[in-house]
Chains A and B, each alone.
Chain A
């Protein structure tokens, strides 16, 4: 692909701390290479801000290779920007052209409060996982892989669900700020495997209970989450979550 440089206007949400009201600020960046990543463009912008004695923009990032889920920017009305199945860190500047104005906002959900600028507190996801997104097994020597037969199809679906990186883009785009694509991925991943069986019922009930406590909305299956998920988690996982929830809650003893 041909390389080009561009000048851009970036409108970024700036907010000093969680209590600050915050607002948009407009910045100009020059000579951005089409081969830079989106976060590298932000690095350039931050260098510029530091150079001018201003506070750099706070944003989350860690692996910068699309696997950790830390990066989270709502770019021009879409989480992770214009490309499909791409995290913000894997978005490249060739997605934009010279003279563009790019609006960058943090994830918006009451359950993900803004801490500073583009950084939100996503620990609600951690608490949902802690409520049930695990299996309790004794560790020891690795067992022989073939001692626990799993159908190929189920293994594939479980693996596809396990690809969720917990980025929260699904919550960010959902009109209800529902976390059900994330929870659906986690519940499906374990519900499809024999290892998840012992805690199958308590897991789904506890995870939904925790999500409700955190203040995520109710899923109305609009499909927006699936459309923006960088890991292409299927919305069928939400249906499976609902089924698991019904099975568990209807058959509960008390």
Chain B
């Protein structure tokens, strides 16, 4: 069996989804942790320093390429799988109530698409100005650093943007609620003792992380963070 055969079989393609999915989950942990610095109540200094480190450290810039590749594979493979799976039925059922499964488990393609739209907006808002166009103000404490924090405050003054970000976080929550535990099923966790722990961690993760993300635009809009 060649590697190509392994990763292009139906199970192999799911392995690709699970592996890239878990990789992206690990990125979420870093991202949410760093962003939580906005609540340090220091006018964004700690946050800007963290952002500067992430943007200037060469190892992290290399890892960033890996991150983009991870996203790319997850998205392309996800669409390919969804299209293939959707084509497997043929004639549709007349009565289709989605018995026995959760709506979000059946809607990973849709939730993923919402997340992709969110991602494009999000990259446009922050990644492009800080990495490509460099049009960010200087940080007050050090002119070498960008003031990404004030850009965040600015972006999140628009209530529509705040609502879109919250909707993005809700899509993320449901996407994770299925994806986290399902990835481990794909990796072969059949032992019910391990699996019940994984499931609990997965649900907790899919509530806590998106909630923390959603609170960022909300607390900036409401002026809790200045």
Contact = CB atoms under 8 A, between A and B. Distances in A.
Nearest to A84: B100
A197 interface: no
A216 interface: yes
Contacts of A212: 9-10
A176 B85 contact: yes
Interface of A: 22, 24, 74, 76-78, 103, 105, 108-111, 113-114, 173, 175-178, 205, 208-209, 211-212, 215-228, 235-246, 248-250, 252, 254
B182 interface: yes
Given A208-B9, A216-B10, A222-B106, A77 B1 contact: no
A250 B9 CA distance: 13
Contacts of B2: 254
Contact of B90 (A110, A225, A226, A237): A110
Contacts of A238: 185
Nearest to A184: B190
B89 A177 contact: yes
A77 B90 contact: no
A218 B80 CA distance: 11
Nearest to B10: A218
Given A74-B93, A242-B187, A218 B106 contact: no
Contacts of B85: 175-178, 217-218, 220
Given A103-B95, A220-B105, A177 B190 contact: no
B84 interface: yes
Contact of A220 (B1, B95, B108): B108
A223 B100 contact: yes
Interface in B50-105: 81, 84-102, 105
A109 B93 CA distance: 10
Contacts of A22: 91
Most buried by B among A78, A108, A208: A108
B11 interface: yes
6 contacts: A77-B95, A77-B96, A175-B101, A209-B9, A216-B10, A240-B190
Nearest to A13: B94
Contacts of B118: none
Contacts of B185: 221, 235, 238-239, 242
Given A110-B90, A218-B81, A245-B11, 11 more contacts: A175-B101, A218-B85, A220-B14, A222-B100, A222-B105, A225-B100, A227-B101, A239-B184, A239-B195, A240-B190, A242-B187
Contact of A108 (B93, B98, B108): B93
A128 B16 CA distance: 24
B187 to A, nearest CB: 7
Contacts of A208: 9-11
A185 to B, nearest CB: 12
The range of chain B's interface size is 35 or more
Interface of B: 1-2, 5-6, 9-15, 81, 84-102, 105-106, 108, 181-182, 184-192, 195
Given A108-B90, A218-B14, A205 B1 contact: yes
Nearest to A77: B95
Given A77-B95, A208-B10, A176 B88 contact: yes
A111 B81 CA distance: 17
Nearest to A209: B9
Nearest to B92: A108
A245 B189 CA distance: 12
A248 B6 CA distance: 10
B154 to A, nearest CB: 40
A177 B88 contact: yes
B15 A246 contact: yes
Most buried by A among B81, B184, B186: B186
B94 A24 contact: yes
Nearest to A114: B91
Contacts of A248: 1
Contacts of A224: 98-101
Contact of B11 (A114, A176, A218, A222): A218
Contact of B195 (A77, A177, A236, A252): A236
A223 B95 contact: no
